[in-house]
Amino acid sequence: MSLPKLSFAVELAAAPLAELFADPAVIETLVKLDAGVALGTLDLGPERAEVVRRLNEAGIPVVAWLLLPEDQGYWFNSGNAREATEFYRQFKRWTADNGLTWAGVGVDIEFDQREIKAITSGQGRSLLPKVLLRAFDAERVRRSEQAYAALVTQIRSDGYPVESYEIPFMADERKAGSTLLRRVLGLVDIPVDRDVFMLYSSFLGKTGDALLWSYGPEAAVIGVGSTGGGVEMGAGMPVLTWDALARDLRLARQLGKDIFVFSLEGCVRQGFLPRLAELDWNAPASPPPDEDIAQVSAIRRALQTVLWAAAHPLAVLLALAALAGLFRGLVGCGDQKRR
């Protein structure tokens, strides 16, 4: 089996980004790994442009991971398609002005960061009216997805393939033919060239590897992590140990998938990067325990059932009415026999 193609997410502000790549060993190891970088656009400044030029000169493929200002939601969602389109225009100008080369463009489809921060700061109740209104607004999802589809078309016409970073439960919504998750959570489902499922086992508890094993076959690229870094949502966010990271990498390889590692800065901080260059990909990695796989499968079936029911309420009502009629008929037959 051939080795997977690795790419590393980098989500740093300008000063720490420059500091990360000031160490020549980082670029040297990326070249040795034949790995790419997905570089978050936390700003469109000269320091970030200089890092991109250095990566370009080293022959390292760089994907522009588009991120909005925090006051616009940061990640892409159903509430900021207009802002995302405008940001892409600014990104194009910055790219042209600085002579930058990109291997592709990445869109990060997640919740509105302002809502996440409200929840983690104990203000989640204030969001309930907004979420309830959104749950019944299918038109909002339709409009935002049309706008994002037009943006993807524009990006492709500019010569860039598009990849998305997605919450894996979107796969269940697609199977169920539902929009419930998108309506409630403010997510969007847009056509891209390859989807990266964020299967970060450090955040998913003891069944994290089973979730990776279950959702991995449905993704173009498997996202593993977290090794640390990224948006600060409070203290004590779990990170992978080296052994857990190596396990997830080998499981992803067994599934025949390329791998997205979150994050490069976490790997450098924990001393994982040189170890990755020496990783024995052929070492055994046992699949998750059967009971964990069964638990994840049961959760996915239940979720898909709920989503299907939400998408087909009339069919559910008709089925319940038919079952009620059947039950009454059976009870009636029983009463006649007793007479």
At residue 335, does pLDDT exceed 90?
no
Query: Percentage of the chain surpassing pLDDT 90?
Result: 79
Residue 236's pLDDT is: 64
Q: Which of 82-96, 247-261, 270-284, 321-335 has the lowest mean pLDDT?
A: 321-335
Residue ranges of domains in the chain, CATH in brackets = 6-287 (3.20.20.80), 289-339 (no CATH)
Residue 317's pLDDT is: 73
**What is the rounded CA–CA span in Å between residue 102 and residue 95?**
9
Both tokens of 158, joined, read 């500019």
- Stretch 232-239: mean pLDDT: 69
- Stretch 62-87: mean pLDDT: 97
User: Band of the pLDDT at 331, cuts 50, 70, 90?
Assistant: low
Residue 333's pLDDT is: 57
Residue 237's pLDDT is: 78
Supply the angle between the helices 290-311 and 208-215 in degrees, to the nearest 10: 60
At residue 337, does pLDDT exceed 80?
no
User: What's the mean per-residue pLDDT of the chain?
Assistant: 92
Model confidence pLDDT, tens digit, residues 11-41 = 999 999 999 999 999 999 999 999 999 999 9
Model confidence pLDDT, tens digit, residues 189-217 = 999 999 999 999 998 888 999 999 999 99
Q: Which H or E run contains 224?
A: strand 221-225
Q: Are 267 and 26 in contact (CB under 8 A)?
A: no
